Structure 1
Amino acid sequence: MEEPSSSNLPSLATPDRFPFPYPKPYDIQLELMQVVFKAIEDGKIAIVESPTGTGKSLSLLTSTLTWLDLHKKRLTEVAEGELREKLKGDDPDEPDWVIEHSIKARLNELRSVEGARNERLSRARERERKIRRNGSSTRGMVTKKIKSQDNSGANEQSVEVREEEDYLPDDKDEQDDQGPYLSKEVRDLMDKYEASRPKAHQEEEQDEDGPKIYYTSRTHTQLRQLTSELLKTSFPISDHTNAEAGPSNGVSLVPLGSRKQLCINDKVRNLAKNGGDERLNEACLDMQKSGKARCEFLPSKAEEVSMLDARDSVLASVKDIEDIVTVGRKSCVCPYYATRRAVKQSQIVTLPYNLLLQKNAREALDINLKDQVIVIDEAHNLIDTLLSIYSTTLTSTYLISAISQLQQYLSRFKNRLKFVHALKIKQVLSLLQGLIKVCEAFASSSSQKTDGKAKSKNEVMNANELMERVGGGNDQLNPIDLVEYLKESKLARKISGFSEHLQDLAMKDPKTSRSTSQRHASIAAFHIVESFLISLVDARDDGRVILSLEEGHSGPTVVIKYVLLNPAERFKEIVEQARSVILAGGTMEPISDFLQQLFPSLPKDRFATLSCAHVIPKENLLTQVVSVGPRKTEFEFKYSNRDNDALLTELGSVIQSTIGLVPDGVVVFLPSYAFLDKVKAFWTKSGLMGKLGDKKTLFFEPQTSGDVEGTLRDYAVAISSCNATLAAGDKSKKTGALLFAVVGGKLSEGINFSDSLGRCVMMIGLPFANVGSIELQERMRYIESLPGNGKDASREMYENLCMRAVNQSIGRAIRHANDYATILLIDKRYSTARIRNKLPKWIGEDVKVQNDYGSVAKGIAGFFREKREKERGIK
């Protein structure tokens, strides 16, 4: 029975009650669920803002899965009606009882398919229970036994041993990356075999692609938290479902990840340590070739039942990626391919941004978004993510390395290459040599001086202009054909593999000395070149190529960067295919950026927007604009003012006064790392830093990501230690900790400063992006060039970039319904309506603009006095 078209479906009314996991949702949670449900039903794009701590994830899950459940029931009912009409139309004289019998038979057939699925998943749950009890499966024990008997070490070497024929380019008719490399004749025989199999067996392995929710977020950690939230609801299949209790109609969740996250072959993973993710991918694909030592965790065609069992294990209960890897190791079946096989039969798929937003990634994962629902959480990053994904950087160093590899490759294989391969490879080589000439000419012109002044070290052009400069007949080449050839032949994999092979031989020479990073960079060179060429082919009028000169250890390096300026075109395909797209985040303001940059051509009636209030009572948040300091110095932290000693002294006085009024933790956000270093040095010299340290233990945002966790841990310990000292009755000068952080840095997003960790957040200035950035300038010019736009549009975008960063930082303070904090916006520009209107609604509605610091201090003191009295009253 075919799925009815959406135009034939009756409308679903928005439920008055949703199956929320708690007795009574907040009003804002109910409002969010209603808006999302209706947006999906009406095929709209919803942009919703719900502050952290308001149960956003639960509300999104409940609303989307409620719609999915009702939609599936609707499809069954409509399909039954359409079948009845069809049967009547085929034979008007057919008795009603015959028609009803046919309908009943068809419905029973559909129920039997669903019943068979539920039975399979019940068996999968039972297998998991046995694996947990026994520690491994029979297949796993056999594999381990084989491995233990292999004392020769050959098994460990099998991944690395290759015949040189492996490095020859693939032909167009060879199978793609996703499975074994088989000849056309073998695949034809397999197709005939499949066609001759009994219908029941074919249907058993056929995966239907039903309606589902694709849920994406920025990081794996955020998606793992979503999995935990789903387990709180009544939707998922229970891990403890009793097979005798009957079939379960719960939803199955599939978390998609990369090979790096899901691979369980330790030999392959060890290769990645020296060669990076690209090497891991190549090693995985290499171990699927016919005639090679096949990956022991990837079942052969004859063992397909093992992969189907692994697929069912993924579907049988809600698991995150770590759970799936654990089960995969115990059952000795590849989790990466098991999750991919499970996608079509799932109801909700979680995946990181990049896997959804990149067309190549969607194609590789066989993701079909047609009429599906897409939820993009933490969507405040969406525009920047799209621009980043489709922008590519290539250096002259990588170009030289890639040319050298290609020449070595041609020299070794020229007598074994088919004519078409030799021709295409020479064309690619000619193109790369042309790019090097462009780099050399640019480096030469940049070093020259005109009228005694050095020329600009940046140059901007479009992709066609770059190809014209390549010259030497290369402008007559069709780069689209060349990129298509690179994809079909897997040339980047072949060349990097051959290059690694040569380097491995060289490394055995004791005279050779080369670092792992140098080796990795060399192997990755041709992959980087390929990515850049793909960007050039994909380039339209909405992209630019920027040439720049950077000084390196071995001299100047030319950088060629393709920069995407228009994210709407790359997002357009997703919007056109999906039934509905939900953009959600804790701080989505200013929303105008999304409308202008992602959906410039869509009518306003295609959108549903909602900005939720916060679940905290209004008296739990005090937000003040600090326009002047104690000495009446105006605060305006423009870039030109940041070296003003009087301004820095006044800022120090405000911080010193404030931390004397605020208990526990205070977080100060500064516009940049350079400004943080400036105030740190200035206040250390003036002695203020020591005074701040007497009152609260001082912490500074670390330079490396690896130190973030330790800094936050020490910051929390310092606060709790002070509280413990006070509780014991000991008098101490210190009242907590003071943390200096940077807007857009490592502590401004994804970190919770809840409760005592963030009783006050201070935002110093407005963190405007560097307007001197050539990329930003090109983006602003592009925005201005769009129909109906002008200078105001680029100004709006520039301000919105700043305010989105501000909103993310100050949103770190309030993290749940009972939390409370004060926010200080220290810059007189926050007092303007234009800037205040770009704050989140839950903050912007009650901002107090203060024109003297005495009122600020009075407000802070009264705020925390009230909290102390309330806490004493409760005790």
Structure 2
Amino acid sequence: MSDSQSSALSSIRLPTPTSFPFPYPKPYDIQLDLMQVVFRAIEDGKIAIVESPTGTGKSLSLLTSTLTWLNQHTKRLTEVYTEQLKEKYMDEKNDLNEPKWVIEHSIKMKLDEMKLIEEARLERFSKAREREKKIRRKMNLNKGLVIKKIKSMNDLDKKIKEIKDENDFLPYENLQNGEEDGLYLSKEVRELMEKYESTRPKAKQEEIEEEDLPKIYYTSRTHTQLRQLTSELLKTSFPLKEDDLDNNAEAGPSTTKGVSLVPLGSRKQLCINDKVRSLAKNGGDERMNEACLDMQKSGKTRCEFLPTKAEEGIMLDARDAVLASVKDIEDIVAIGRKSCVCPYYATRRAVKQSQIVTLPYNLLLQKNAREALNINLKDQIIVIDEAHNLIDTLLSIHSTTLTSTTISSAISQLQQYLARFKNRLKSIHSLKIRQVLSLLNGLLSVCQNFIGNDEKGKSKIKHEVLNVNDLMERIGKGNDQLNPLELVEYLKESKLARKISGFSEYIAEQNNAKEEKASRTSSQRHASIASFHIVEAFLLSLVDARDDGRVILSSEDKNGSRTVIIKYVLLNPAERFKQIVEEARSVVLAGGTMEPISDFLQQLFPQIPKNQFSTLSCSHVIPKENLLTQVVCVGPRKTEFGFKFYNRENDLLLTELGSVIQSVIGLVPDGVVVFLPSYAFLDKVKSIWTNSGLMSKLGEKKTLFFEPQTSGDVETTLRDYALAISTVSLGGERSKKTGALLFAVVGGKLSEGINFSDSLGRCVIMVGLPFANVGSIELQERMKYIENLPGNSKESSREMYENLCMRAVNQSIGRAIRHANDYATILLVDKRYSTTRIKNKLPKWIGEDIKIQSDFGSVAKNIALFFREKREKEKGMKV
């Protein structure tokens, strides 16, 4: 956006709407509040932090408010452009003494041109929809969309293949040197390529360069959550409709006829080349990425689903198919398979002309990923849903781990590579590769010294914490010529990691072909081949670290030998988030449990003044009588509940907990979910209750389920849990069972993104406070970092430690209430929930109606009364 446009826009300030095009007749007051806060924050270029409990229509409110602003902003841009056009022509024509009607005619012609561009866009989408319909009906599949190989290209490929051979594994050259696409090629190959380039048909270029439209980047934790957003968008009036395409003649420069959505994903989600996809199973995502990039070269091995530059029209058709209607990733993959065009690159091409781009956290939060996807955040809107995870996600994706075994493997690969190619490498490559080898040996020396110091001591050193500069000094000891920053730049430019891993796999395949039976599994081979990629990622972290990270050295005994682990831990998420905040027009952080907001202000936005924030914490949409929350301080035998870490092995305490659950499930219909602090605690409980016979007694009242340790079993567990409840509800169970009982873990697979609405979660029991292990060296370093921030103290780190725990608690108990007519009871089983400090950190929607119970009889009595009233109300409604 030009300075003159920015200035003109600032003079046309959009007022906050009093109503929005919400898909339902009348939004709740909290939904209207949220929409107005978000709209105003975007217009004023602020950061919005909004908390809206799950089940209150948060996604719809976010979509409606952001798209309402986008629609009004687009109209405003057109008005500003029209005014600037008039001024421009007035200045030009006045100098020529042109009459007024000539000036007006010139302006009209320019606006008509804009209208034609919009009409052409909608016409392309209309044609794309027609093609899509044919594909979906499986009729008249256009085999011409399958990319054809021209004979001259095949002949060229054979010659190139003969000449290049192992030269494929040579490093890329610096693009500034004018090399062909940065790829090292011999003189003969270059001549052949130039000859072909002069004879091949030129790609058809679009008349007007693609404009990066104003848009919303909407991100969440998982593809499942983003898929739900897509279905919510379809409920609104914003998506492109059939009428918009059929009546495109009415479209004008001041009208936005529907918004288009592009879901971005990784190759793992979008690739349709089965050969490449098979590599992900055996070699991981990195190998899949490498294979895709390798198959973009001209030749027999070129991916059949990726059009060449000469076939640009095919890719543009695929782009339009993505934009023509709202689709999720699965829809785009299905269309891509049937039209034989790569969905991964089709979605990337569609980004500029879309109004909403959905993508998982990792693709937005990592600078390298944004650059790879050509994402430009300048003046755009960023909405981060499920943002309670944001700080931890930033810390996690920018922390890397390296082992001495991996370093040794990388050194071996590099030595083998250097031995094979030393006579074919340019002198600059040879020098840089030897320096990289020296750096790796320096890293290995750090590991060996750590083990040596460990073994000399009387007791084993468990860990050592270094800042990045200290580690760099140890690595480069005795080598003044070593410049890690320059070497990392070289690794990025030369794509050396790709070349070495490709060469290592090539050698491994040759060796395996000679042997009757491979001595190692494919996963072991991949771990070896991927070693250099892991080293490169670690070095990138170090160079980009500045002073906001720590390096932790530790060791473990494995297979009779000591392995050193070097982990870089990011401590300051603000530095990594800074670029996003500075580039975007507005950033919206939204979630069901954002409190305490102070964590976000301190850890993500320490330098931003408070007047640049808009915050909102919504109440729930359910009436107060639909929620009963009690703190259970004691059990039936008056045993006091305090599940501190040292107390979790107390058999008496666990037996008393079992008695509480046994009493409660007899009073609660349908589904009960019990959240425990850890998997270890769950195992302990199962063991004690099984031995005492209590587990079988619980099983007599409700069908028992336990959170699985593997992600693949989650869907099955949830399905069986729901089936057990529905069977009882329908009267299909002849036993005395009254539903199902599910044991889950806080922070596990069932504590986020899973709905236990209605009969699936009539009662949620939270056992203890799931504080993180304070003995963790990583957590200790993070707490020290928080303490040392300007204006902070030891109390600040304690606050952060508690907030981590309470955010996990709030996420878990929020699973129960999912819509306005839902009802449930929540039991907080630990006396610490009665303290003012902890109670104030519970969700705002629970309110002040928390009952602190020092007598279990009162707990049971309140539960019985709560569900009796619900039964009577439901009977009255039926009558």
Which category of TM-score, normalised to the shorter sequence, fits these structures? over 0.9
5+ long unaligned stretches in structure 1: none
What percentage of aligned pairs have identical amino acids?
75
- CA shift, 1:328, in A, is 1.1
Name the counterpart of 2:749: 746
Please say if residues 159 and 293 of structure 1, whose CA atoms lie closer than 8 Å, have aligned partners that are also in contact.
no
Q: Could you tell me which residue of structure 2 aligns to residue 785 of structure 1?
A: 788
CA distance in 2, matches of 1:589, 1:177: 53
In structure 2, the partner of 1:5 is: 5
Aligned pair 1:461/2:466, yes or no? yes
Q: Tell me if 1:333 matches 2:361.
A: no
1:118 aligns with 2:126: no
Judge conservation of contact 1:175–1:181 (CA < 8 Å) in 2: no
2:810 aligns with: 807
CA distance in 2, matches of 1:391, 1:607: 29
Which digits, 9 at most, give the CA deviation of each residue in 1:251-286, with x for residues without a partner? 111111111111111122223322111111111111
2:421 to 402, 413, 416: 413
Q: Post-superposition shift, 1:378?
A: 0.7
Describe the SS at the equivalent of 1:401.
helix
Distance in 1, matches of 2:163 and 2:675, equals 53
Distance apart, 1:311 and its partner CA: 0.8
Query: Residue 260 in 1 paired to residue 274 in 2?
Result: no
Alignment of 1:344-383 (within 5 A): 344-383=352-391
Partner SS for 2:211: coil
Task: Report if aligned partners of 1:264, 1:329 keep a CA contact under 8 Å in 2.
Answer: yes
2:873 is the alignment partner of 1:870: yes
TM-score (norm 1): 0.93
Whether the aligned pair in 2 keeps the contact of 1:180 and 1:288 (CA below 8 Å) is no
In 2, Cα distance between equivalents of 1:188 and 1:7: 49
**Please, which of 462, 477, 482 is the counterpart of residue 477 of structure 1?**
482
Alignment partner, residue 671 of structure 1: 677
Offset, 1:627:
1.3
Give how far 1:846 is off. 2.1
Separation in structure 2 between the aligned mates of residue 433 and residue 337 of structure 1, nearest angstrom: 39
Structure 1 pair 69–181 and aligned structure 2 pair: CA distance change class (3 A): farther
Change (3 A) 1:423 1:796: same
Cα distance 1:470–1:522, how it changes in 2: closer, same or farther (>3 A)? Answer: same
Asked if 1:102 corresponds to 2:106, the answer is yes
Q: Deviations over 1:563-601 (max 9, x none)?
A: 000000000000000000001111112211111111111
Which residue of the partner structure matches residue 313 of structure 2?
A: 305
Give 2:537's aligned residue: 531
Deviations 1:127-151 (A, max 9, x none): 22222334464245766999xxx9x
Residue aligned with 2:175, SS = coil
Give the 3 Å change call, closer, same or farther, for CA 119–394 of structure 1 in structure 2.
same
Contact 1:700 1:740 in 2 (8 A): yes
Look up the equivalent residue of 1:54 and give its one-letter code. Answer: T
Find out whether 1:433 has 2:436 as its counterpart: no
1:398 aligns with 2:406: yes
Q: Deviation of residue 96 (structure 1)?
A: 3.2
Residues 172, 183 of structure 2: 8 Å contact kept = no
Q: Secondary structure at the match of 2:214?
A: coil
| Aligned mates of 1:346, 1:523 — CA distance in 2 | 39
Q: Which residue of 2 aligns with 1:506?
A: 511
CA deviation string 1:512-571 (max 9, x = no partner): 411011011011111001000100100111100101112223522111000000000000
Q: Per-residue CA shift, 1:132-174, capped at 9, x if unaligned?
A: 334464245766999xxx9xxxx9xx99998200000010028
Give 1:717's aligned residue. 723
Provide the C-alpha distance between the structure 1 equivalents of 2:480 and 2:342, rounded to a whole number of angstroms: 45
Report which stretch shifted further, 752-761 or 849-858: 849-858
> 3-state SS of the aligned residue for 1:289?
coil
* Paired position in structure 2 for 1:548: 554
Letter in 2 for 1:255: P
Q: Which residue matches 1:692?
A: 698
1:273 and 1:717 mapped to 2: Cα distance? 32
Question: Residue 587 in 1 paired to residue 593 in 2?
Answer: yes
Residue matched to 2:762: 759
1:613 to 2:619 alignment: yes
Distance 2:835 2:161 in 1: 64
Tell me the distance in 2 between the aligned counterparts of 1:186 and 1:66: 55
Q: How many pairs were matched up? A: 856
Secondary structure of 1:163's partner? Answer: helix
Aligned to 1:826: 829
**In the superposition, relative to structure 1, how do residues 864 and 605 fare at CA in structure 2: closer, same or farther (>3 Å)?**
same
Q: How far did residue 619 of structure 1 move? A: 0.8
Structure 1 residue 781, shift from structure 2 partner? 0.4
CA distance in 1, matches of 2:346, 2:478: 48
**CA deviation profile, 1:316-352 (whole Å, cap 9, x unmatched):** 1111111111111111111111111110011110111
CA distance in 2, matches of 1:95, 1:186: 59
5+ residue gaps, structure 2: none
Whether the aligned pair in 1 keeps the contact of 2:147 and 2:305 (CA below 8 Å) is no
1:632 lines up with 2:632 in the alignment:
no
> Does the Cα contact within 8 Å between 1:264 and 1:335 map onto a contact in 2?
yes
1:657 Cα offset (Å): 1.2
Separation of aligned partners in 1, 2:207 and 2:463: 60
TM-superposed deviation, 1:661: 1.1
Shift of 1:98: 3.1
Q: Give the equivalent residue in structure 2 for 1:226.
A: 229
Give the letter for the 1:529 counterpart: V
In the alignment, is the contact (CA less than 8 A) between 2:146 and 2:305 conserved in 1? no
Q: 3-state SS of the aligned residue for 1:351?
A: strand
Question: Does structure 1 residue 273 correspond to structure 2 residue 276?
Answer: no
Q: Pairwise CA RMSD of aligned residues? A: 2.9
2:798 to 790, 795, 799: 795
Q: Deviations over 1:195-226 (max 9, x none)?
A: x999xx75536210111000011111111111
Q: Please say if residues 173 and 184 of structure 2, whose CA atoms lie closer than 8 Å, have aligned partners that are also in contact.
A: no
**Pick aligned residue for 1:64 from 49, 60, 66:** 66
Contact 1:168 1:494 in 2 (8 A): yes
Distance 2:393 2:178 in 1: 28
Q: Contact 1:399–1:529 (CA<8 Å) still a contact in 2?
A: yes
Residue 244 of structure 1, CA deviation: 5.2
Contact 1:467 1:475 in 2 (8 A): no
Of 639, 650, 653, 1:644 maps to: 650
SS of structure 2 residue aligned to 1:327:
helix
Code of the aligned partner of 1:368:
N
Q: Deviations over 1:459-484 (max 9, x none)?
A: 11011111111244346421111111
Partners of 2:248 and 2:192 in 1: how far apart?
43
- The answer to which of 179-188 and 507-516 deviates more is 179-188
Deviation string, structure 1 residues 591-628 (Cα, Å, up to 9, x no partner)? 11111111111111111111111111111111111112
Q: Is it true that 1:55 corresponds to 2:60 in the alignment?
A: no
**1:737 paired to 2:740:** yes
- The AA in structure 2 aligned to 1:169 is P
- What is the alpha-carbon distance in structure 2 between the residues aligned to residue 252 and residue 786 of structure 1? 43
**2:601 aligned with 1:598:** no
Comparing 387-396 with 437-446, greater Cα deviation is found at: 437-446
User: In terms of mean alpha carbon deviation, does 690-699 or 338-347 score higher?
Assistant: 690-699
Q: Which moved more, 1:732-741 or 1:865-874?
A: 732-741
Q: Is the 8 A contact 2:175 2:182 kept in 1?
A: no
| Post-superposition offset of 1:511 | 5.2
Match for 1:440: what amino acid?
A: Q
SS in 1 for 2:606: coil
The answer as to 2:168 corresponding to 1:166 is yes
1:571 is aligned, of 566, 577, 582, to 577
- Give the superposition deviation at 1:7: 3.7
1:182 Cα deviation (Å)?
9.3
